[in-house]
């Protein structure tokens, strides 16, 4: 099968969906002539024209708010926020408008909006480096996708654009260049269905995006020590596939969540609570988390590396859990 990068896969998904449906429009900062600061929307202006692919002012509130307005009137806007951190700049529009416009108006509207959110620690400092998906997972009305491979990025984005609900689509910037096998043609993936990336008997590790690559590395190292790690990639956090996770925990009896968001009330905290409530009897060991300790993300590499969960840290916790 052909391999393409995660970034190209997103570009293909956008192009195919714009081709398929004339109501799909795309805008954001620098997305038109320049093709996006991460080069993801390259060629789309040339192909679909300035009516459907356009730059917006540096006005994140209206970027997302207009997305809600366009969506309730029948368009399918795809909005690129330059950095995922900026969901907090457009907080009212994301959490109280996109998430709630349908609900508070008694179901009269559909909100088929996708907000693309480049995330992840790349040394760009406290306001341009975070993985803020916990805020989204916390908030009713929003769907949350966290694709980890090029194939998943393409299939989940195509699905997101077709869904009639608002989707916060996190794209991890350290993955943009990563190449994977991606099938040609019209492949979508359902939201709420995770995947076991690696099978094992001793410990279940939940990880996605950049932390998934670290978890996979840790699993390879641990294999040499006879520790078999099972790795669960949830693919979407809202909805969250607790069923597949619980089946895995039934087998392993231990669970570690590795995430690139803040630890306190993070995604891992929620997953831990799900396991306490629904799978307590299957856990032989205390539930564990590795996350960003509760400090902002710094700018320079040594400080960033200090707070990102490392392969070694993942190995250490897995050893404890498998002991």
Partner 1 sequence: MIQNDRLRDIFAKALLARSFEARLIKLTAEGFLPPLLHPGAGQEVAQIAALSALKRDDPVLYSHRGVAYMIARGTSLSAMIADMAGRAGGTNNGKGGIMHVVDLPNGIYGESGTLGGGLVVSVGMGMALRRRDPGRVVVHFFGDGASNRGTFHEALNWAAVQKLPCIYICENNGWAVSVPTSVSTAVENIADRAAGYGIPGVVVDGADPDAVMAAVANAARRARAGEGPSLIEIKATRLLGHYAADPQDYRADAASVAQRDPLAALRRRVIELGLLDEAEIEAMTAAHEAEIDLAVEAVKAAPPLDADQAFTDLYA
Q: In this complex, which beta carbon is closest to partner 1, that of residue 110 or of residue 217?
A: 110
Q: In this complex, which beta carbon is closest to partner 1, that of residue 79 or of residue 271?
A: 79
- Could you give the CA distance from residue 205 to residue 196 in angstroms, rounded to a whole number? 10
Nearest by Cα to 209 from 191, 200, 221, 197: 197
- Could you give the CA distance from residue 226 to residue 217 in angstroms, rounded to a whole number? 15
102 forms part of the interface with partner 1 (CB under 8 A) = yes
Q: Which of 10-18, 96-104, 280-288, 315-323 is the region at the interface with partner 1 (rule: CB under 8 A)?
A: 96-104
DSSP conformation class of 181 = E
Q: In this complex, which beta carbon is closest to partner 1, that of residue 72 or of residue 175?
A: 72
- Could you give the CA distance from residue 136 to residue 166 in angstroms, rounded to a whole number? 11
33 forms part of the interface with partner 1 (CB under 8 A) = no
281 forms part of the interface with partner 1 (CB under 8 A) = no
- Could you give the CA distance from residue 311 to residue 301 in angstroms, rounded to a whole number? 16
Please confirm, yes or no, whether 138 is among the known catalytic residues. Answer: no
101 forms part of the interface with partner 1 (CB under 8 A) = yes
For the bound state, the minimum distance from the C-beta of residue 121 to partner 1, rounded and expressed in Å, comes to 29
Pairing of strands 143-145, 114-119: unpaired
Q: Which of 28-36, 65-73, 200-208, 302-310 is the region at the interface with partner 1 (rule: CB under 8 A)?
A: 65-73
Q: Which of 102-110, 125-133, 267-275, 314-322 is the region at the interface with partner 1 (rule: CB under 8 A)?
A: 102-110
Q: Which of 128, 138, 172, 202 is catalytic?
A: 128
For the bound state, the minimum distance from the C-beta of residue 17 to partner 1, rounded and expressed in Å, comes to 16
Touching partner 1, residues 134-163 (CB under 8 A):
140-141
73 forms part of the interface with partner 1 (CB under 8 A) = yes
- Could you give the CA distance from residue 248 to residue 166 in angstroms, rounded to a whole number? 30
303 forms part of the interface with partner 1 (CB under 8 A) = no
Site for partner 1 (CB under 8 A): which residue of 57, 185, 226, 281? 57
From residue 204, how far is each of 42, 181, 249, 264, 268 by CA, in Å?
Answer: 39, 25, 6, 21, 13
For the bound state, the minimum distance from the C-beta of residue 133 to partner 1, rounded and expressed in Å, comes to 18
DSSP letter string over 88-128?
A: TTTHIIIIIIITTHHHHTTT------EEEEEES-SSS-TTS
Nearest by Cα to 117 from 159, 162, 79: 79
Helix ranges (H only) for the chain are 6-20, 44-48, 60-72, 91, 101-104, 133-138, 150-162, 209-224, 242-252, 267-279, 301-307, 311-322
164 forms part of the interface with partner 1 (CB under 8 A) = yes
Interface residues with partner 1 (CB under 8 A) are 23, 25, 51, 56-57, 59, 61-62, 64-75, 77, 92-93, 96-97, 101-112, 140-141, 164-165
Which positions are annotated as active-site residues? 128
């Amino acid at each position: 099968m052909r391999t393409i990068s995660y970034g190209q896969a997103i570009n293909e998904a956008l192009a195919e969906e714009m081709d398929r449906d004339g109501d799909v429009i795309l805008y954001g900062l620098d997305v038109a002539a320049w093709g996006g600061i991460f080069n993801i929307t390259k060629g789309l202006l040339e192909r679909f024209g300035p009516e459907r692919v356009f730059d917006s002012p540096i006005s994140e509130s209206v970027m997302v708010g207009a997305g809600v307005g366009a969506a309730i009137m029948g368009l399918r806007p795809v909005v690129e926020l330059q950095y995922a951190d900026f969901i907090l700049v457009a907080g009212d529009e994301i959490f109280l408008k996109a998430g709630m416009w349908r609900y508070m108006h008694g179901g009269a509207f559909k909100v088929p909006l996708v907000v693309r959110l480049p995330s992840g620690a790349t040394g760009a400092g406290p306001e341009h480096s975070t993985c803020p998906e916990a805020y989204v997972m916390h908030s009713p009305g929003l769907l949350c996708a966290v694709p980890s491979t090029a194939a998943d990025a393409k299939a989940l984005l195509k699905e997101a654009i077709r869904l009639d609900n608002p989707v916060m689509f996190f794209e991890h910037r350290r993955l943009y260049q990563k190449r994977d096998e991606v099938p040609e043609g019209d492949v979508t993936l359902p939201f709420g269905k995770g995947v076991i990336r690696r099978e094992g008997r001793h410990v279940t590790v939940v990880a996605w995006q950049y932390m998934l690559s670290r978890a996979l590395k840790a699993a390879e190292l641990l294999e040499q020590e006879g520790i078999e790690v099972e790795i669960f990639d949830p693919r979407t956090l809202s909805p969250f596939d607790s069923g597949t996770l619980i089946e895995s925990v039934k087998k392993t009896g231990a669970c570690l969540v590795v995430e690139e968001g803040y630890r306190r009330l993070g995604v891992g905290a929620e997953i831990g609570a799900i396991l306490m409530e629904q799978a307590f009897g299957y856990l032989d060991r205390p539930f564990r988390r590795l996350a960003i300790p509760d400090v902002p993300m710094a700018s320079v590499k040594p400080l960033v590396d200090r707070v990102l969960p490392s392969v070694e840290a993942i190995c250490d916790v897995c050893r404890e859990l498998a002991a």
